[in-house]
Structure 1
Amino acid sequence: MSKLNIDQQTIKELFTNKKADFLIPDYQRPYAWDENECQTLWDDIFAFAFPNDNYSEFDSENDEYFLGPIVTFKNDDNKQEIIDGQQRLTTLMLLLRAFYSYFGNMQDENSKKTAEAIGKCIWKTDEFGTANKNKLKIDSEVSTDDDKEQFLSILKSGEVEASQKSKYAQNYRFFLDRIEEFLKKYPTYFAYLPNRIMNNCILLPIEAESQDTALRIFSTLNDRGKPLSDTDIFKAQFYKYYSDKGQKEEFIRRWRDLEAICEEIFSSATGSPMDELFTRYMYFERAKQGNKNTTTEALRKFYEHDKYKLLKNDQILDNLESLALFWKKVELQDDSFSEDVLKLLSVLHYAPNGMWTYLLSVYYMANKNDADELDNENLIAFLNKITAFVWAYAVIRPGVNALRTPAYPEMIKIVNGESVEFADYKFEKHVVKNAFDNYVFTNGRPITKSMLAWWCYQDKDQKLIPIDTVLEIEHIFSRKRQDNEKLLKYKNSLESLGNKALLEKTINIRASDYRFEDKKKYYMGYVTDSGKNKPATGIIELRKMAASKDDYLEQDIINRKAFIIDEFIKYLETNGLLID
């Protein structure tokens, strides 16, 4: 059993220990706390140290405030390598340094003693116990943190330049401002607050006997206010693997590049953008395992099997890099794809759920050649197939979770070199028609925009719309016109698929409330009285409609809806997704 050295300590006890020599290693993430976290820390500590704004209500013998754990292990250089807790440790150092800056000109005995105590927390001491301001008790080697030198400079000098915009500089200024306000309000009791922080705020240092043990603890703990992402854990595992191979520097470079790509193309409501990459890749590995279970394991749980065995081989990082670059090309509409592929990817960009990204990730990993390219014709067939299936399934059986049942077996077929057929989940024609005829395509339903994007590109004259174009749903017969004229007899006509199209946001703002005869010029483009050119919409169908119609009324809505649905049913049939 691994041994742990656990003994709760005050900040002063931990920081002034002669053996205290902290290192934030290069595989750690950059410092991430901002003013919100610092404000919370300051408010909490102040409320603890000055209960009810009264210094005398504090019990220095018994009152304690727990700040959380610090997980370390002693590395080969005899330094305490920080595995968890670097955010709070860094912030506490900045806070103490800010306090120290205010004691320089104070001559009373309490202030001198407090300054001396703070100094011993920040700097190493000589054999006489005197702080050596050239030797900090903490160092940072974080490979992806370009601002770490500012942190070390602030601790050494207590100075920060106005031009410095790092989180270290911003948070240090924040603490200086809060301390100045505190000093003005409590000049007589100024020394009490830093002393109570040092003597009564508790940390739980957990010193593991090895990096492996520390990493296991690290995988179960959170930094205060900054939860560890799953990829923080994965990074540590990769780091150890490549360090053992003597490739630490190469790994750091590659990981940093991978992070930059993910930051550019992925967003994540929880965790980090890198988590999204690992999620998409997970489905490939999951499919190779033949796993069609509709209950998907959490990301970290999946990768931690057999002590993260999956991450401990050279091919995985290569695969992750390849997959990230593929999705970067997708997001940037890279011209290495054909025009037809880019149009299909543009449609999928508006998919009613994210399952297509997993299907496409598995397809890419299973079918890419040595140059990380896909066969164009096969890719077109695959994209058409999943578009048709996902769209129909979203109307007939709504919900992304419902889509897992048919999608997971297809992923297994993909990695086994079989074609995607959805053989057990094909649709009956009359079921599809009834479902689409009766479905209310409100703007709030994702499938509405999805269908309109698909329909937009059914026109062979439609050019590729840049991915950064903001498209909104346009009511061709406007709501305001119906409010004023009451021309539509059927209550569902306004929200009918036949009355909607995609339209650029800038044009939609101008055209939304007009009669069709007025909308036409916005669809077609026009020149203002001042001679300014207002470009036409990039949606070809609307331009053709404006050129051929004088008005757009209820029968037009009915006819267009029927036509869209009929064409989608033909699309399903073409892709082999209908049964008799």
Structure 2
Amino acid sequence: MRKTIEPNLRLIKDYLGSSDIFSIPEYQRKYSWTTKECDKLWQDIDDFANAGGEDPYFFGTIIADCSERNKLNIIDGQQRTTTFLLFCKALQLVLSDILANFKEDEDSSTLKRGLTNSLDLVLRILYKADDETVENILDDWDSVEKPVILENKSINEEFKDEFHKILSAKNFDIAEKSVHRFYKKQKDNKYTGFFKNFKSFYEKLEKLDKDEINKIAKCFLGKCQVVEIRSWDIEQAIAMFNSLNSTGMPLDDSDIISAQLYANANDDKEKFNSIWENLVETTNNLEQRKIVNLSGILQEYMYIQRAKDGLEDVNMLGARKYYLDAKKELLKDPVSLSSNFLKIAYIWEEIKENSIIKLLLKFNENAKFFLISYLFKFEKLEQKEVENIAVYLLRLFVILDIVETGYSSSNFKSFLFRQNVNFVKENYSFEKLNNELNEHINNFKEDDLRERILSYDNNQLVFLNEFLYAKSHNLKFNFNDSVNIEHIMPASGKNKTSIQEDAKMSNEDFSFYVNCLGNKILLEEDVNKSISNAWFKTKKQSTIKEKKGYKDSKYHIASALVNYESDQWTKDDIEKANEKVADRIIKFLFDKK
């Protein structure tokens, strides 16, 4: 009888040096290790090397499916395997540099031999090299074709060729120039996890002297071990993937669910893979913008499905339990389910720059679930529908921000779960929804909300005030990520004492009024920095030593202050502005025309 499982305790050099090609299957998660996990790996290796122990160091279990000839399909351990190889590449570059500049004497021959042996071993691992190939690589790097030793077929991985670009590079600079850079990201954040982790190892190794590197290389390759479990049964392998995760990162709900969908795709695997890869690419872009990730989209569809089933219960299952247990029939049609996930991602792509949506999400992330439930029913999104539901939810979540009650109270979460059942109904008019919201909001006392607004000292309502001011004057509303909250009467700075004295305010009064909504506006970061903590007259003037002022702002309240009737901004001015803010917000909340 053919064996189905074969466990082996193997040194890292033997595991990585296998003649088989490592392969990341379609259903696996993307490469997710960060420099935090790599730092821990490095520290483990460094501590073990410096301890001088003779016993091997154990790095956990690797589970691989061997049902394909000459391939190790990694089921559990892909994060570590990928990282081990990135570490080997960093080690190869540093060893090559050291040996190219090695100054030999009688006492260093043993050290050079040890470094040379380690480089030889790493080259054999990274390039499946024999003796002749190793010699060719050392003599002429560019003349030797670099084989793919790890192929990434994961439908969750957007940057499948990043790993090979790094391994194929002759030196660090070439590797850096060849890899992907994220738009507008700074420093190391502009790189993928592959390059960030490789760079982290390379920089650590570069700081070591020859003896330390020799010790690290010999320890990692010749004294560290993994348990490699090979399976020749693909179904058994997937079952192990779903139930086991040895010393790697915990699996996300999306990892488990995508694996199950892949297993269920059968004859539709190609179509499912195409949809899922599109989904991953779209959500990765959305995640970079801090809008939504793949797990979030799975949750949002769960809200839609629960609402379609008429469930108003606020007690939610986790996504994994919902899809794998409570609603497991959804997983039987992977193409349909993944298409629905992709539709949600496309909705986010379409609405992500909408100014009212951006404003809504400043108040509460839970708004996302109900926003998508409503918009999902439309085959084609209309601007009117997007703004209708955004304003609807905004009114409720603004009240939540003002009052002291939490989201979980019946006035908010319970109400929204009941309404969500109506959100997903195609023939349920928005007018009816809005009337139900008006009726619900009338349960709040207008005077109480107004009093809270007048003493409000947080910043979310500053954004709302700008939106409402723009709306009342038929002006375009938008804000960017670099917007600042400007205190018209400065809250700090060298002029604070003089301004406080001119305003004839005690410390207690000043602390209250300076943080009132009537003293806060939106302002571009560069304008805010330019005027800093200047006097009100200075801020509104047209030219002050080429500095920018309110005149240069695209925010409407700031530009309107340029024509303010007084050159002073006092306690009375703040009180008047505060009353206007309260009037705008109350009118908005209670839907007063």
TM-score by length of 1: 0.75
1:23-42 aligned at under 5 Å gives the runs: 23-29=23-29, 31=31, 33=33, 37-42=37-42
Matched, 1:514 2:530: no
Report if aligned partners of 1:474, 1:512 keep a CA contact under 8 Å in 2. no
1:172-571 aligned at under 5 Å gives the runs: 184-185=210-211, 190=214, 194=217, 196-198=219-221, 200-207=223-230, 210-219=233-242, 226-242=249-265, 244-248=266-270, 250-266=271-287, 273-305=293-325, 308-313=328-333, 314-333=335-354, 344-350=356-362, 352-366=363-377, 368-369=378-379, 372-374=380-382, 376-402=383-409, 403-417=412-426, 418=428, 419-420=432-433, 421-422=436-437, 425-428=440-443, 431-438=445-452, 445=458, 447-465=460-478, 467-468=479-480, 470-479=482-491, 480=496, 482-488=499-505, 490=509, 492-521=512-541, 526-527=542-543, 536-550=552-566, 551-571=568-588
Secondary structure, counterpart of 1:399 in structure 2:
coil
- What letter matches 2:62 in structure 1? I
The 1:117–1:388 alpha-carbon spacing in structure 2 relative to 1, beyond 3 Å, is closer
- What letter matches 1:363 in structure 2? Y
User: Whole-Å Cα distance in 1 between the matches of residues 505 and 211 of structure 2?
Assistant: 69
- What letter matches 1:385 in structure 2? Y
Deviations 1:319-353 (A, max 9, x none): 222222222222234xxxxxxxx5x4354243x21
Percent identity of equivalent pairs: 22
Alignment gaps of 5+ in structure 1: 334-341
The 1:69–1:306 alpha-carbon spacing in structure 2 relative to 1, beyond 3 Å, is farther
Secondary structure, counterpart of 2:563 in structure 1:
helix
The 1:498–1:169 alpha-carbon spacing in structure 2 relative to 1, beyond 3 Å, is closer
Secondary structure, counterpart of 2:227 in structure 1:
strand
- What letter matches 2:371 in structure 1? L
In structure 2, the residue matched to 1:336 is none
User: Whole-Å Cα distance in 2 between the matches of residues 213 and 440 of structure 1?
Assistant: 64
In structure 2, the residue matched to 1:337 is none
User: Whole-Å Cα distance in 2 between the matches of residues 172 and 472 of structure 1?
Assistant: 37
Q: Cα RMSD over matched residues? A: 4.4
CA positional deviation for 1:463: 1.9
Secondary structure, counterpart of 1:292 in structure 2:
coil
Judge which range, 94-103 or 275-284, deviates more. 94-103
In structure 2, the residue matched to 1:574 is 591
In structure 2, the residue matched to 1:338 is none
Report if aligned partners of 2:62, 2:229 keep a CA contact under 8 Å in 1. yes
User: Whole-Å Cα distance in 1 between the matches of residues 499 and 203 of structure 2?
Assistant: 58
Equivalent of 1:92 in 60, 65, 84: 84
The 1:569–1:10 alpha-carbon spacing in structure 2 relative to 1, beyond 3 Å, is same
Report if aligned partners of 1:25, 1:82 keep a CA contact under 8 Å in 2. yes
- What letter matches 2:578 in structure 1? K
CA positional deviation for 1:497: 2.3
The 1:307–1:121 alpha-carbon spacing in structure 2 relative to 1, beyond 3 Å, is farther
Report if aligned partners of 2:6, 2:230 keep a CA contact under 8 Å in 1. yes
Secondary structure, counterpart of 2:376 in structure 1:
helix
Judge which range, 416-425 or 499-508, deviates more. 416-425
User: Whole-Å Cα distance in 2 between the matches of residues 181 and 377 of structure 1?
Assistant: 59
- What letter matches 2:302 in structure 1? M
Secondary structure, counterpart of 1:286 in structure 2:
helix
User: Whole-Å Cα distance in 1 between the matches of residues 544 and 285 of structure 2?
Assistant: 38
- What letter matches 1:50 in structure 2? N
Deviations 1:130-187 (A, max 9, x none): 9999997943133631224335647xxxx44631124667766765776677672269
CA positional deviation for 1:423: 7.4
User: Aligned residues, how many?
Assistant: 532
- What letter matches 2:525 in structure 1? K
Report if aligned partners of 1:488, 1:494 keep a CA contact under 8 Å in 2. no
Report if aligned partners of 2:24, 2:153 keep a CA contact under 8 Å in 1. yes
The 1:497–1:220 alpha-carbon spacing in structure 2 relative to 1, beyond 3 Å, is farther
User: Whole-Å Cα distance in 1 between the matches of residues 127 and 358 of structure 2?
Assistant: 57
User: Whole-Å Cα distance in 2 between the matches of residues 251 and 265 of structure 1?
Assistant: 21
The 1:347–1:111 alpha-carbon spacing in structure 2 relative to 1, beyond 3 Å, is closer
User: Whole-Å Cα distance in 1 between the matches of residues 4 and 505 of structure 2?
Assistant: 75
TM-score by length of 2: 0.74
Judge which range, 64-73 or 414-423, deviates more. 414-423
User: Whole-Å Cα distance in 1 between the matches of residues 59 and 203 of structure 2?
Assistant: 22
Alignment gaps of 5+ in structure 2: 101-108, 138-144, 180-192
Deviations 1:38-90 (A, max 9, x none): 44323311311331xxx3xx2x3xx3433123232233446331122112112
User: Whole-Å Cα distance in 2 between the matches of residues 441 and 221 of structure 1?
Assistant: 54
User: Whole-Å Cα distance in 2 between the matches of residues 267 and 472 of structure 1?
Assistant: 22
- What letter matches 1:45 in structure 2? I
The 1:531–1:566 alpha-carbon spacing in structure 2 relative to 1, beyond 3 Å, is closer
Deviations 1:347-368 (A, max 9, x none): 4243x211222211110012x1
In structure 2, the residue matched to 1:82 is 74
Deviations 1:511-554 (A, max 9, x none): 45233322222xxxx34666999853223334334324214433
Matched, 1:65 2:65: no
Secondary structure, counterpart of 1:295 in structure 2:
coil
User: Whole-Å Cα distance in 1 between the matches of residues 482 and 212 of structure 2?
Assistant: 54
CA positional deviation for 1:289: 2.8
Secondary structure, counterpart of 2:521 in structure 1:
strand
Report if aligned partners of 1:121, 1:137 keep a CA contact under 8 Å in 2. no
CA positional deviation for 1:392: 1.6
Which has a greater percent of helix? 2
User: Whole-Å Cα distance in 2 between the matches of residues 462 and 30 of structure 1?
Assistant: 44
User: Whole-Å Cα distance in 2 between the matches of residues 450 and 434 of structure 1?
Assistant: 21
User: Whole-Å Cα distance in 2 between the matches of residues 176 and 543 of structure 1?
Assistant: 51
